[in-house]
């Protein structure tokens, strides 16, 4: 007997602003999960380079690539298990528990637990990520014009968590200790899990209290900073509190329906498979048993690469097989998913440079200081104390050129200031001011999404009512094109640095803006497309395959990032001057820009055929004469 909701149950849901109230609970559950994930992501490459592991650029990229690729590979398996046995609700709870354990273990600064922690996060994400998106789709009736807007609101929740993460976890990790940053990520994951499982009255109080506490913490930590550094924190805090109030009101009407994400068959779930162990508990036990194997794959990135190739080939065969066996309309819809999945893979391979090569470019070549006092000409020849965080990269100190490696060494030794004999070349050098931590720039993308997410959502609705909304393939082309422009901006900045080899942070922020507008044209639309085009019987599996394509993207992103590795000499962590590193980054950003723009043109050219294959106004599974007559 099926546990799937009836159309009447879906239609009877309470709503707020035209959307089911359960959406707002899922908004916060996903927001806190993304807070934990992006909090760790903001720190990971920097931690591997500068923390107790002290690895090189290439090794850091390899670990980061293996981790992020497997994070997006496991949802394929988690989606299938939820479809066939566990149900999306139980899968989300299991995933949340595994990820909370992973973030907690990450606070231990020992190599073996480090890789175990990454493995727990990978397995947990496999259960959590595809299935919470599936639950969102299940709240809307078939053909609902509100579904795209609902997914965009959900996507804003994702990015509110992603914006908070660098501002809190990144700031605390870089300034107070890595384990404190990872500890905050643990707390965030536990809050997200509690929001998902608690009764509605407790959920809404927890949402509001956590929003107020987190918003206040973002402002308090930056209370002494200049307005340029405090402003973004205050903006995110304000958005968080407004969202908390809206969710509090929505959940006072009703929480998540009991049928949302329920297992397809309770009898099958409770069936014994080995003595007293039921099928449900077999999944739980197996999830922990596989963790050491995943840890080995992360520590040996080549194993992860082969696993992705084998698993990807199997998943692609499975999906193609399902496509070929489907009726014509379902088959053509799945063909659209497969084609756009390929271009999505390219998009994320370039996009994910944000956590690797763009992150280190920001650390080494972007001027991140808002100075309040600089060296003047009358100070030449004198010796003064200079704050080591104040944009010293690229300046000469007693004929030694300072790089980020020198600054990191001072910070690790808890040196706050250094005696500096002022030379003529130091005139204009910052002495005091506010430095924005490298990891905090990763908040730019999600902050722009919060600013423009509702604008894009409203734009699609506005254009849809006037029958001029771009088709999904055209939106994909627009998204990839804007990503290409973003890397063109980064390339231009890297080939035109100042004499020290440093780049104005405005170029970095402009590139993040273009990356964001591109993402808003592609990512939420892609999630919605999968839930609309995939047959109901395999929707979680197709959603998992969508994330599996992103897994390949992340592995490819790591390979691309390795071309920006800048270790010179035998000493780990030694760096060439900023003028040289800028040239290295430019040599990668330029080709990415060209590849993205060419890909966008290709998608635009084939978009009419893809739009035809989507059969947007036809019933799923239509066959025979009706299908033939409607295909043209």
- Residue ranges of domains in the chain: 7-11+19-364+438-615+622-630, 369-435
Question: Where is 161: in which H helix or E strand?
Answer: helix 147-165
- pLDDT band at 543; cut points 50, 70, 90: confident
* pLDDT tens digits for range 236-290: 888 888 888 988 888 888 777 877 778 777 888 888 877 788 888 898 999 999 9
Pick the more confident residue, 603 or 146: 603
Output the average pLDDT for the chain.
Answer: 82
pLDDT of amino acid 566: 58
CA distance linking residue 601 with residue 606, whole number of Å:
9
For range 457-476, the mean pLDDT: 84
pLDDT of amino acid 568: 42
Q: What is the CATH number of domain 7-11+19-364+438-615+622-630?
A: 1.20.1250.20
pLDDT of amino acid 625: 34
Q: Which of 66, 69, 123, 67 is nearest to 551 (CA)?
A: 69
- pLDDT band at 4; cut points 50, 70, 90: low
pLDDT of amino acid 302: 78
pLDDT of amino acid 600: 95
- pLDDT band at 406; cut points 50, 70, 90: confident
Grouping H, G, I as helix, E, B as strand and the rest as coil, residue 366 is strand
Kindly compute the dihedral angle of the four CA atoms of residues 499, 505, 507, 508, in this order, to the nearest 10 degrees. Answer: 120
Q: What angle do CA 386, 389, 393 make, to 5 degrees?
A: 90
Most confidently predicted of 48-62, 318-332, 478-492, 604-618? 478-492
Residue 571 has pLDDT above 50, yes or no: no
- pLDDT band at 120; cut points 50, 70, 90: very high
- The residues pairing with 274 across neighbouring beta strands, listed in sequence order, are 277
pLDDT of amino acid 574: 61
- pLDDT band at 225; cut points 50, 70, 90: low
Grouping H, G, I as helix, E, B as strand and the rest as coil, residue 535 is coil
- 537 DSSP assignment: G
pLDDT of amino acid 628: 32
- pLDDT band at 629; cut points 50, 70, 90: very low
Can you say whether the dihedral through the CA atoms of 134, 137, 142, 148 is positive or negative?
negative
SS3 content of the chain, % helix, strand, coil (to 5): 75, 5, 20
User: Residues 96, 189: contact at Cβ < 8 Å?
Assistant: yes
* pLDDT tens digits for range 574-619: 667 888 888 888 988 999 999 999 999 999 999 898 888 887 766 5
Q: How far is CA 105 from the centre of its chain?
A: 21
pLDDT of amino acid 457: 75
pLDDT of amino acid 511: 95
- 501 DSSP assignment: S
Q: How far is CA 185 from the centre of its chain?
A: 14
* Residue entry with tokens 């808890």: 414
């Amino acid at each position: 007997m099926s546990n799937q909701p009836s159309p009447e149950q879906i239609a009877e849901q309470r709503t707020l602003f035209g959307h089911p109230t359960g959406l707002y609970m899922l908004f916060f559950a996903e927001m806190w999960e993304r807070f934990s994930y992006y909090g760790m992501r903001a720190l990971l490459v920097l931690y591997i380079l500068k923390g107790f592991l002290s690895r090189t650029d290439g090794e850091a990229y390899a670990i980061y690539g293996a981790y992020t690729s497997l994070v997006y590979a496991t949802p394929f398996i988690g989606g299938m298990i939820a479809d066939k046995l566990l149900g999306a609700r139980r899968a989300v709870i299991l995933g949340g528990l595994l990820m909370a354990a992973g973030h907690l273990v990450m606070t231990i600064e020992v190599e073996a637990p480090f890789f175990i922690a990454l493995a727990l996060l990978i397995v947990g994400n496999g259960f959590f990520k595809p299935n919470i998106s599936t639950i969102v789709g299940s709240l809307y009736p078939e053909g609902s014009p509100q579904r795209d807007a609902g997914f965009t609101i959900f996507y804003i929740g994702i990015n509110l968590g992603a914006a908070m993460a660098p501002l809190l976890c990144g700031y605390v990790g870089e300034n107070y200790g890595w384990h404190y940053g990872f500890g905050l990520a643990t707390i965030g994951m536990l809050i997200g899990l509690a929001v998902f499982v608690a009764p509605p009255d407790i959920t809404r109080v927890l949402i509001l209290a956590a929003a107020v506490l987190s918003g206040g913490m973002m402002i308090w930590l930056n209370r002494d900073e200049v307005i340029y550094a405090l402003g973004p924190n205050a903006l995110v805090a304000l958005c968080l509190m407004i969202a908390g109030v809206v969710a509090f009101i929505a959940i006072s009407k009703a929480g998540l329906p009991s049928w949302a994400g329920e297992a397809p068959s309770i009898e099958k779930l409770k069936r014994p498979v080995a003595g007293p162990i039921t099928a449900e508990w077999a999944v739980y036990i197996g999830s922990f048993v596989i963790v050491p194997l995943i840890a080995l794959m992360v520590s040996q990135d080549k194993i992860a690469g082969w696993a992705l190739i084998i698993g990807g080939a199997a998943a692609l065969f499975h999906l193609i097989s399902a496509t070929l066996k489907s009726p014509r309309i379902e088959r053509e819809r799945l063909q659209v998913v497969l084609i756009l999945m390929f271009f999505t893979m390219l998009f994320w391979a370039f996009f994910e440079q944000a956590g690797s090569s763009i992150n280190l470019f920001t650390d080494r070549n972007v001027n991140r200081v808002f100075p309040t006092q600089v060296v003047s000409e009358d100070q030449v020849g004198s010796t003064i104390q200079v704050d080591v965080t104040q944009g010293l990269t690229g300046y000469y100190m007693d004929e030694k050129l300072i790089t980020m490696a020198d600054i990191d060494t001072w910070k690790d030794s808890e040196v706050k200031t250094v005696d500096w004999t002022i030379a003529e070349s130091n005139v204009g050098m910052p002495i005091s001011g506010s430095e924005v931590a490298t990891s905090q720039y990763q908040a730019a993308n999600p902050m722009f999404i919060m600013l423009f997410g509702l604008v894009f959502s409203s734009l699609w609705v506005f254009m849809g009512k006037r029958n001029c909304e771009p088709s999904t393939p055209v939106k994909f082309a627009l998204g990839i094109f804007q990503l290409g422009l973003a890397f063109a901006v980064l390339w231009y900045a890297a080939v035109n640095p100042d004499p020290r080899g440093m780049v104005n942070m405005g170029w970095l922020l402009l590139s993040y803006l273009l990356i964001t507008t591109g993402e808003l044209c592609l990512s939420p639309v892609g999630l919605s497309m999968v839930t609309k085009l995939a047959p109901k019987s395999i929707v979680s599996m197709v959603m998992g395959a969508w994330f599996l394509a992103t897994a390949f993207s992340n592995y490819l992103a790591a390979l691309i990032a390795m071309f920006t590795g800048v270790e010179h000499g035998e000493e780990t962590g030694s760096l060439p001057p900023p003028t040289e590193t800028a040239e290295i980054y430019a040599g990668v950003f330029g080709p990415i820009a060209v590849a993205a723009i060419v890909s966008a043109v290709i998608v635009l050219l084939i978009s009419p055929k893809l739009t035809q294959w989507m059969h947007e106004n036809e019933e799923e599974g239509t066959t025979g004469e009706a299908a033939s007559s409607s295909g043209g």
